[in-house]
Amino acid sequence: MAVKLITTIQRYSGLEADTKPTAGVAVGSTFRETDVGHNFFYDGTSWTHMAPSVDMDAHGAQVIVDHTEHAVHAGQLFSATFAEALSSGSASVMLFETPGSAVVSVHFEGVLETSAAGTLIFTEIPNATVGTIVIAYNNSRRIAGSSEVSVTSNGAVTTTGNILQHGVTGGGASMKIGGQIQGHNEWETDADARYLLQFTSSAATNVAWNLFFIEEVED
């Protein structure tokens, strides 16, 4: 269909069984079938059915959002980031502790970015002392509220605890803990528990942690 100028138009109405006019009909004119509610647009050659514009709220339609998007809108998704430089053979340590109350459950996922080869472990109940506090921000910037999860970096680890996930990277890639945040493959953590994330590098490198916590608040 070539580009056509719409100037003065006509608005027709009739029944579904009626033959729609074409002689002398201006481009852009409309025809409404009053018995069935269908609308048509005249393009200069033929009448084309126009899909209706539906008000989803007015018609009671169910709008589907995924788990993570819902958590953001509800003010239940928090994220913490930390970056540092490592020397060869050294480790980057992140610890987080879940609350004993105030939330129904805490779902966790994380991403480690590094350019060097190394090993990553995610463990439960490590014997470790906490380090420097890392703030977990509410991903909904319009809703007030602080994370119930305590996150720290550079803690001192005596024993690593129960290994939940172990990974090895050849360098130049991201390593995901618990899958992707969009995939709903997160870990559901225990209440009042400590968890360790530790990456040991085989070469000097920079590392960046991106940790995500969905905290389902108890009503």
pLDDT digits over 72-95, tens only?
A: 667 789 999 999 999 999 999 999
Q: Give residue 38's pLDDT band: very low, low, confident or very high (50, 70, 90).
A: confident
How do residues 185-197 score in pLDDT, each as one tens digit?
A: 679 999 999 999 9
- Range of the structural domain that residue 113 is part of: 74-217
Which positions ≥6 away from 94 have C-beta within 8 Å? 82, 134, 151, 152, 153, 155, 196, 197, 198, 209, 211
Number of domains in the chain: 2
**What is the SS3 assignment for 69?**
helix
Q: Are residues 38 and 83 in the same domain?
A: no
Query: Is the residue at 135 inside a domain?
Result: yes
